[in-house]
Each structure stands twice: as C-alpha cells, then as structure tokens.
Amino acid sequence: MGTVTTPATYSQALRKVKRPDPVAVGTIVWLGSEVMFFAGLFAIYFTLRSTSPELWAQESSLLNVPFATVNTIILVLSSVTCQMGVFAAERFQPYRTARNPLRWGMVEWFFLSFFLGAVFVSGQVWEYAQLVAEGMPIAANAYASAFYLTTGFHALHVTGGLVAFLLVIGRAYAVKNFGRKEMTTSIVVSYYWHFVDVVWIALFLVIYFLR
C-alpha cells in the first residue's frame, strides 16, 4: 500500500512563508517620508527661480561647478563601494580574505565608503568657506539661504550615514559570528546611503546646472 501524506497544517504553511524583514520595510517607509522632506526643499528652489530669475542668475554664477562635479563623483563612487560591501555581507564575509580588493569583506568596503563620504562632506565645507569669502553668506539673500538650507540638510544626512557605517563596522567586530542580522543591517544602511546619493544627484543638477 502507498504511504498516505498528511496535508500541511495552516500553521506549518505560515512558517514556510518568507516574510520581509521588518527593519528593511520600516527603513523604506521612513525614506519615503524623507523624499517628501526633500521635495519641499526642491520646491523652494523652483519657486525662487520663477520669482527671482535675476537673483538666481547672479548668485549661481559664484558656484564652483568643476569642484562640485568632482565632489559628486566621489559621492557616487562611495555608493558603488557601499554596494560592494553589501555583496560581501550577503556572502557572510565580514573581512577580506586577501589583499586583492575583489576579496575584500564588508568591513573594508564600508571603511572605504566612509572615507569617500567624509571627503564629500569636507568638500562641501570647503565650498561653503569659499562662497562666504566671495560675499555669499547664508544671510546674504534668498538664494543663499535656499542654497545653504538644501545642501546643509543633505550634508547632515550624509553625516548620519557616516555614523551608520561606523556602527555597522563596529557590530561586525563585536559579534563572534557574522550572521543574517548583521547582513540585514548592512543592507538597510546601503538603502539609506543610496538614497542620499540619489538625492544629491538631483540637487546637483538643479543647483549647479539649472539656469
């Protein structure tokens, strides 16, 4: 006689369902609210451009476009290195297995991402100093206020991402076994970092190229 298979119970079926990670879902929802926040900052710029085109043309001529382009490339590269760190985390490889960068682990890639992000923020601070020296402090006019407000809030978000990198790296050193929880944390941080990268590309195009 053939064996009789017992159908799976409802509770067994539920255990087999792969639910999305709540931390990742929560991060995506939170980033959605951040999109609305930056949309408001973009609205300030477009309103200013439509109401004061002469002021826009005058003040935007002070911006150092070549320098900002190089700084943007640095931030874009940091997003690439961040994703390489995620790939390593998905292999459950926290550290490098050889000097070859292709065999780096999550920690090495995230350290490089942190360095590139820090260079980007330092570049923004240097640009602020140059603009102030050229007579465009934050209180100079409406354009200056909009510029420092939008780029400044973005710089704060980048700084938050740098802190997140350090926390993830520290956690990798603290645990004995690099597991799924650490992998998920690195993926969530990459979501945030890619978000600030995409926002900056949009800001860069609007601020430095929209005439």
- Whole-model pTM: value is 0.82
Q: For domain 20-209, which CATH number applies: 2.40.50.140, 1.20.120.80, 1.10.10.10, 3.40.50.1400? A: 1.20.120.80
Calpha distance 179→93 (Å, rounded)? 9
What is the per-residue pLDDT for 38? 77
Kindly give, in sequence order, each residue whose CB lies less than 8 Å from that of residue 59, ignoring residues fewer than 6 positions away.
136, 140, 141, 143, 144, 147
Tell me how many degrees the CA angle 36-42-45 measures, rounded to the nearest 5. Answer: 155
Contacts 24+ apart (CB under 8 A), 118-127: 118/162, 119/71, 119/74, 120/71, 120/74, 120/75, 120/78, 120/158, 121/155, 121/158, 121/159, 121/162, 123/67, 123/70, 123/71, 123/74, 124/71, 124/151, 124/155, 125/155, 127/64, 127/67, 127/68, 127/71
| Rounded distance between C-alpha atoms, residue 203 and residue 84, angstroms | 25
Angle at 50 between CA 47 and CA 52, to 5 degrees: 95
Per-residue confidence of the chain (211 residues) as pLDDT tens digits?
455 444 444 444 444 445 566 656 666 666 666 777 778 777 887 888 788 888 888 888 889 999 999 999 999 999 999 999 999 999 988 888 877 777 889 999 999 999 999 999 999 999 999 999 998 998 888 888 889 989 999 999 999 999 999 999 999 999 888 888 889 899 999 999 999 999 999 999 988 887 6
